[in-house]
Each structure stands twice: as structure tokens, then as C-alpha cells.
Chain A
């Protein structure tokens, strides 16, 4: 299985900050990388698909980039509702593994 490693595991940030989360794959996955946001007690919610495509209804402050083995999720100006855990997920090969998550907390 492909291994995904996210960094950092957690971070503290303030409203308005620019936040960047990295996801590294154990092998090249081209652009087959999705990002999800999960809030406590809720299911994950799709933010970005195919590395850089914004899912319908997701605010434009979220963006994704990367290809091959290194990918980033950027929140350009952190909002109160963005405090959550973020997961990357590869869609290159079944069983489509997820990263371990990055928890974004209030500073």
C-alpha cells in the first residue's frame, strides 16, 4: 500500500493566518491526491480533488498543489470555522490510503 505522511501532525494558528499542510507519498502518485476536512463528531468533507481542484461549495481560501510525491494544502486566511483536522488521501491505487491527519488548533 502507498504510505502518506502529513506534516505537521498539529499546528496552532490565529484567525487570518496563512496555513500550509504537507502530504508526502511513499511513491509517485502523479496528481491523484485529495484533501478532506473533518470536524469533531462529523464525517470527513471533501475540499480538494486531483491535487488542485476545488470541490463545489468549498471557499476559495482553500487551495492545493503538488504532484508526484509532495503535495500541499494551503488556507490563505484562516477562519474560525477552519479549525479542524485535515487528511490527505491518495486515489492512485486501491485501497486508497489516507494520511494520519493534521489538527489545526486555535492559537
Chain B
């Protein structure tokens, strides 16, 4: 079955870079849009952006200046980097598979990774 698993440090210092990787199994990386979504008590669920299997990226304008996403199809994983983090970036970070056909939906999600920004 399709599984996604986030991995990365759970604690990041202010002004540093948050880095997460999502490992995908049970499905091809090709043909889907691989998405990062975060959830915090203050801002709820927020789409950070997504990357297609070709490497084409789309970032939320509110985060665009700080976000970089990449994909490694040979390793079936994709990654998120968010730089210059502050306490406001503390959240659960989810990776999800996006299907963008006639409609856009997120049908498989990772379990989520809590990232805390604190010194």
C-alpha cells in the first residue's frame, strides 16, 4: 500500500534551516505532485507548496522566499528546506501525495513530523 514517512530533526534553532525528507513507498514518484502541508494551532492547515516528479515547484507566496523543495526519483523521496525559521514555524509538517487531474486532492499523507523552533 502507499506509504509516506517524514524524517528530520524535531528541534531547530531560530534563524536556522528546517530540513525534512519524505520517503515514498508503494507508488511511483512519477505522475504525482508531492506536497508539504503544515499544521499549527495558530494558523491551522497550510499548504507550503509542491513539487512534480520532473522537479517543477510551486510555493505558497507567503513562504516562497524561504522555501526550497527537491525530489530524488531514484530514492523515491522528496525534501523540504525552510530557512530563517522563527517560532511561528513550529508545527506538524506533513508530506502528502497530490493528484491534480480534473480536481486537486491529497489522497495519501505521512503521519506527520513535529518540528519545534526554539533555542
Contacts and interface: CB of A to CB of B under 8 A. Distances in A.
B109 A44 contact: yes
B104 A32 contact: yes
B112 A98 contact: no
Given A34-B105, A94-B58, 8 more contacts: A34-B103, A36-B106, A43-B94, A43-B110, A44-B109, A45-B109, A49-B103, A98-B44
A42 B94 CA distance: 10
A101 B44 CA distance: 8
Contacts of A50: 102-103, 105
A44 B44 CA distance: 12
> Chain B binding site: helix, strand, loop or mixed by DSSP?
strand
A49 B105 contact: yes
A100 B60 CA distance: 18
Nearest to A56: B107
Contact of B61 (A42, A44, A95): A95
B111 interface: yes
B4 to A, nearest CB: 9
A95 B49 CA distance: 7
Task: List the 3 shortest-distance A-B pairs measured between CB atoms, nearest first.
Answer: A91-B104, A43-B109, A98-B45
A98 B46 CA distance: 7
B82 interface: no
Contacts of B58: 94
Nearest to B45: A98
Nearest to B103: A50
Contacts of B94: 43-44
A97 B47 contact: yes
Nearest to A94: B58
B106 to A, nearest CB: 6
28 contacts: A34-B103, A43-B94, A43-B110, A43-B111, A43-B112, A44-B94, A44-B106, A44-B109, A45-B109, A46-B105, A46-B106, A46-B107, A49-B105, A50-B102, A55-B105, A89-B106, A91-B103, A91-B104, A94-B47, A95-B49, A95-B61, A96-B47, A96-B104, A98-B45, A98-B46, A98-B47, A100-B44, A101-B44
